Structure 1
Amino acid sequence: MAEVTTPDAIPALSSVLPTERHRFYEDVVAMLIGTSFVSLGLALYAQAKLMTGSTAGVALLVHYATNWQFALVFFLINLPFYYLAIKRMGWHFTIRTFIAVALMSVFTRLFPMWVDFSTLEPVFAAIMGGTLVGMGVLALFRHRAGVGGINILALYLQDNYNIRAGWSQLALDLLLMAISLFYLSPQQVALSVIGAVVMNVIIAINHKPGRYAATS
C-alpha cells in the first residue's frame, strides 16, 4: 500500500539485487500472509474511520464519501496502473501485484464478516493498523509484489520526468490527507498520519539494500 513516505523510501524498495530464489510455496505463503496483514490493518482503519495513503487511501476516501464497497473500489482504482507497472517493474512484478490486489479486495470484503470490533480505540487502530500494513507490505516487497498504483506512478514520474519518487509520493499522500479533512475530523486525520509514520518506520528499518536478497 502506497503511503506517506520519506523521499528516499520508494527508490530503496527496488534497489535490492536478487541473488537467491524463493520456492513457489514460499511465494504463495508470503502473498497470503502479506495481503491478510494489510487487509486486517485496513479493516482497523475503516472501522475507526482513519485514512492511509496510496490507492488504498483513495479507495477509503471514496468509501467514506459514497459508502461504496471498499473492496470493489480498491480493485478498480488499481487497474489503470498495471500498464505503468509492466513498463517500470516488468511482467512478474505486475502479475504478483495484480494477485495481491485481488486477494486484498477479497479479504477486505470478507474480514468484516469474520471479525466484529465492538470496541476499538482509534489510537490503537492507528498504531496496530499501521503495524499490520507495514509488515504486510514488507512481506510482499520481499517476494516481488506491491500493493497498488500510486507508488508505481511515483516511480514512473521519476524515470520519465526526473521527479523524485519519494517527493511525488509524499505530495500525493498529503493531498489525500488534506482532502480527507472534508470527511474526517482533524483528530482522525492526525491519527492517520501517526499510523502512516508507524507503517513507514517498519518498512524503512526492515527493507534496506543488501539486507534481503532473495527473489522469485
Structure 2
Amino acid sequence: MRHKRLKRTVLLKRAFFVTFGAIIMGVALELFLVPNDLLDGGIVGISIILSYLSGLKLGLVIFILNIPFFYIGYKQIGKTFALTTLYGITIMSITTALLHPIHSFTEDLLLVTVFGGIILGFGVGLVIRFGGSLDGTEILAILLNKKLPFSVGEIIMFFNLIIFGSAGFVFGWNRAMYSVIAYFIAAKTIDVVIQGLDESKAAWIISDYVDDIGEAILARLGRGVTYLKGEGAFTGDEKKVIYCIITRLEEAKLKSIIEEFDENAFLAVGNISEVRGGRFKKKDIH
C-alpha cells in the first residue's frame, strides 16, 4: 500500500512539472521568439520554419514532426519516457495554439533573445529533469551515434548548423544570429535546471596530513569524509586518500583548508550530476 502511494505521488509530481515545463516552453515560443522571427534548434526550429512557410499552426507542426520520435523513444529508451514525451509535447502544442493570437511582450530583439532563451531553457530543463523530452533531435542523435563516428553533441550541433543556416535564408541573417544566441542561453539554462544551482562536486585529496585536513573539513564545512587506501605506483608507498562531496560554492573554502595544512597536497575535483543516499546532507557547524 505504501509503495502504491509513493508511486502515485511520484507520478503526480512528474505530471505536474512536465505540464508546467511544457507550458513554459510554449510561452517562450509564442510570446517571445516566434513573433519576432527567432527560433530554437532541433525539431522545434524546423517546425518554426515550416509553420512560417506553410501557414500551419506551430503546435500542429511540432506534434506531427515528433510522431516518429515517440515510437523510436518507446523502442530505444522505454515506455515511460515515450509517454512522458508524448504528454509534454501535447501540452506544449496546445499552449502554443492558445497563445498564438497574443502579441509578443516586446519587440526589442536583445530582450526577446535573452529572456526568451532563459524561459525556453527553464521549460525544457524541467521536462528533461522529470523524465521526458520536448524535441526528438536528441533521440535521433543517440541512434546515429551508434552508426557514425561522431558524438551525440557533434551530431546535434551539425543538425542545428543546418537549421540556423536555413533560418538565415528564411528570416534573414540578423534574426538567425540572434536565434543562435537564444539557443546557447537556453542550453545553459537547461544545464542549470537539470543540475541545480547547488551543483555537487567530488574531491579527492592526497596529502601527508590527511587526518588534519579531514577533521577540518568536518568541522568547518560540515561535510562527511571517507578515507580510502591508495598506493603510489612509483614509490610503492601506501597513501591515505580523502574522498568527499561538496557543493560548487564550497570549492574555494575546501582549497583554502587544504592549503592551510599542506600547500603541496594533491587535489582533484570533478563534477557530479546527482547525489543520493549516504550522509551528504550538511551537518550543523557550531
Same fold by TM (over 0.5)?
Answer: yes
Q: TM-score range by the shorter chain?
A: 0.7 to 0.9
Which deviates further from its counterpart, 157-166 or 174-183?
Answer: 157-166
Residue 118 of structure 1, CA deviation = 6.6
Q: In 1, Cα distance between the equivalents of 2:71 and 2:91?
A: 19
Pair 1:211 & 2:274 matched: yes
Which deviates further from its counterpart, 200-209 or 28-37?
Answer: 200-209
Q: In 2, Cα distance between the equivalents of 1:159 and 1:130?
A: 31
Which deviates further from its counterpart, 68-77 or 158-167?
Answer: 158-167
Contact 1:142 1:212 in 2 (8 A): no
TM-score where L is the length of structure 1: 0.82
Residue 161 of structure 1, CA deviation = 3.8
Q: In 1, Cα distance between the equivalents of 2:117 and 2:76?
A: 27
Match of 1:52 among 40, 45, 51: 40
Contact 1:100 1:145 in 2 (8 A): yes
Q: Which blocks of at least 5 consecutive residues in structure 1 are unaligned?
A: 1-19
Pair 1:191 & 2:254 matched: no
Residue 112 of structure 1, CA deviation = 2.4
Equivalent residues, number = 193
Residue 160 of structure 1, CA deviation = 4.2
Match of 2:11 among 11, 21, 24: 24
Match of 1:94 among 82, 98, 120: 82
Amino acid at match of 2:141: A
Amino acid at match of 2:273: G
Q: In 2, Cα distance between the equivalents of 1:32 and 1:206?
A: 16
Pair 1:150 & 2:163 matched: no
Contact 2:45 2:163 in 1 (8 A): yes
Q: In 1, Cα distance between the equivalents of 2:82 and 2:76?
A: 9
SS in 2 for 1:181: helix
Q: In 1, Cα distance between the equivalents of 2:135 and 2:275?
A: 22
User: Deviation per CA, 1:141-183, whole angstroms, max 9, x where unpaired?
Assistant: 1110100211110011123445311000000011000011111
Higher strand share: 2
Q: Which blocks of at least 5 consecutive residues in structure 2 are unaligned?
A: 1-5, 196-271, 277-286
Match of 2:116 among 126, 129, 141: 129
Amino acid at match of 2:13: E
Match of 1:78 among 61, 66, 78: 66
**Relative CO higher for 1 or 2, CA cutoff 8 Å, sep ≥ 6?**
1
Q: In 1, Cα distance between the equivalents of 2:193 and 2:22?
A: 18
TM-score where L is the length of structure 2: 0.63
User: Deviation per CA, 1:187-215, whole angstroms, max 9, x where unpaired?
Assistant: 111110110110111123443453377xx
Q: Structure 1 residues 124 and 147 mapped into 2: Cα distance closer, same or farther (>3 Å)?
A: same
Q: In 2, Cα distance between the equivalents of 1:204 and 1:188?
A: 25
Q: In 2, Cα distance between the equivalents of 1:51 and 1:118?
A: 16
Partner of 1:201: 188
Residue 36 of structure 1, CA deviation = 0.8
Q: In 2, Cα distance between the equivalents of 1:150 and 1:205?
A: 20
SS in 2 for 1:23: helix
